Amino acid sequence: MQYKKKVKIVNNAGFHLRAVAVFVREAEKFKADIKVKNDAIEADGKSIMGLTTLGAGKGVEIEIKAEGPDAKEAIAGLMKLINDKFGEAE
């Protein structure tokens, strides 16, 4: 089954390289196929290089899609990570 959710990037630095790396580490914990979309650009949620092409700064709304046996859990975990500002102290 496929799940998708939209979420705003809330940390000050946006979806920068360190945040992307943290996102990918979390995404790799799941078997689900994960895609992240910003406007017309879609990237593999388990690819650092792909995700850096999204250019999602603070306040940008992205869509996370997951399909597979643990898709619902993947979406929940990744949304929590984003809402927790990727663990960054600001």
Active site residue 16: yes
Catalytic residue among 5, 13, 16, 67: 16
CA angle 82, 73, 15 (to 5 degrees): 20
Distance CA 37, CA 41 (A): 6
Catalytic residue positions, numbered: 16
